Each structure stands twice: as structure tokens, then as C-alpha cells.
């Protein structure tokens, strides 16, 4: 069976650029993630980039810690960009795409886990960018890979719990990325 792989490097670099543009006075600002300020989203990104790198490396981790704006590490400005690059590098290994992979208490085929990892990076990168008033760019290839995953998530609240909010309708002429945002429960027009 052939596995379709993809490279997370461009998405990781774009999110690292966004992180570099976040000011300290924006840490308490709201994000598109209900009840999660920018600092909480950064804390989540620090945890998920590490967890999905470990998933690629087949390194078991304890259960993921809860996300909190108060738990954001002091070195997030350097740690998060480094972890984004390490995540992309870990998924470049052919072995990362073989067998099963585990992250966040969930085990699934490695290619599916890679799709989840890319989705988390791409979507939360947009969350951070829009919350802090920065431009954001996603390739159509990355949007398509994430859309395949997002379309597979059902519409019931039980299927979407902990992953996405209810789907948001987007115009018929929406870009591939705007369509993805709608599938993940985000309004492409959201602004703080």
C-alpha cells in the first residue's frame, strides 16, 4: 500500500513567522478559539508541536497537559519556532509515515496522524495570525491536505468535540483555505 506523504516545512515556517510578530501586549487578546486568549493558544501550540514530533519519532508521551494562558513558557518566542521546525523535520523521515503513531492519548495510522498535525499547525497558525492582526498564507496543497482530514470529521457535536466547532457556511466562491476554515468551525471573516 502506497502512502501519500507531504512536507510540513512551509506551514511550520509561516507559523514561526507569525509567532515572531506577536507582541507581549497581545497575549491576553481573544482568539477565534472560544475562551482561549493568544497566550493560551501559544501554550497549546508549544504542547502540540512537541507531541506531534514525538508521534513522528514513535516516542511515547504521557497524557497531554491542560492548556492554560497562565502556563505559557517564558521562552515561547524561541521554543515554539524551534519546535515547529523540529516537527516538520521529524515528519520528513520515511519511518514517521509507517505503522501507527500516538499523540494526545489517540493512536492512529501514521499518515492520518500527520494530517492531524498539519491541520493543527495550519489552523492554529491562522488563529494566531488573525488574533494578532497579521497576514497569513497557506499553500493550496496544505489546504487540500487539511481539507481531506476536516471533511472526514462528522457533523455531530460528539464527533467534533474537542476538535472543531460546528461547521461555518462559506460562500460558493470561497478560497480553498476559507473553505477549510469553515469546515473547522471558523468564520473566515473573524476579527478580534
Chain-centroid distance, C-alpha 4: 19
Alpha helix (H) residue ranges in the chain: 9-20, 38-57, 76-90, 110-131, 140-152, 157-160, 176-183
Indicate the domain borders of the chain: 9-183
Rounded Cα distance between 92 and 87, Å, is 9
CB distance 122 to 115 below 8 Å = no
Q: What per-residue confidence (pLDDT) applies to 67?
A: 67
Tens-binned pLDDT, residue by residue, of the chain (192 aa) = 345 789 999 999 999 999 999 999 999 999 999 889 999 999 999 999 999 999 999 998 766 666 677 889 999 999 999 999 999 999 999 999 999 999 988 899 999 999 999 999 999 999 999 999 999 999 999 999 999 889 988 888 887 877 888 899 999 999 999 999 999 999 999 998
Rounded Cα distance between 117 and 132, Å, is 22
Q: What per-residue confidence (pLDDT) applies to 2?
A: 45
Just give the CATH number of 9-183: 1.20.120
Rounded Cα distance between 78 and 81, Å, is 6
For 163-177, give the DSSP string: T--S-----TT--HH
Amino acid at each position: 500500500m502506497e502512502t501519500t506523504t507531504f512536507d510540513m516545512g512551509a506551514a511550520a515556517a509561516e507559523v514561526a513567522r507569525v509567532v515572531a510578530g506577536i507582541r507581549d501586549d497581545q497575549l491576553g487578546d481573544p482568539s477565534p478559539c472560544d475562551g482561549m486568549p493568544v497566550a493560551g493558544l501559544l501554550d497549546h501550540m508549544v504542547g502540540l508541536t512537541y507531541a506531534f514530533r514525538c508521534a513522528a519519532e514513535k516516542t511515547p508521551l504521557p497524557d497531554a497537559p491542560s492548556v492554560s494562558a497562565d502556563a505559557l513558557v517564558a521562552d515561547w518566542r524561541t521554543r515554539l519556532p524551534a519546535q515547529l521546525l523540529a516537527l516538520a523535520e521529524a515528519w520528513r523521515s520515511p519511518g514517521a509515515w509507517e505503522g501507527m503513531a500516538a499523540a494526545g492519548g489517540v493512536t492512529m495510522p501514521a499518515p492520518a496522524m500527520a494530517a492531524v498535525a498539519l491541520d493543527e499547525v495550519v489552523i492554529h497558525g491562522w488563529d494566531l495570525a488573525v488574533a494578532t492582526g497579521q497576514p497569513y498564507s497557506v499553500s493550496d496543497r496544505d489546504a487540500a491536505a487539511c481539507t481531506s482530514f476536516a471533511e472526514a470529521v462528522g457533523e455531530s457535536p460528539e464527533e467534533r468535540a474537542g476538535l472543531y466547532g460546528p461547521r461555518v457556511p462559506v460562500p460558493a466562491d470561497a478560497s480553498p483555505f476559507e473553505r477549510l476554515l469553515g469546515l473547522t468551525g471558523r468564520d473566515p471573516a473573524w476579527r478580534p
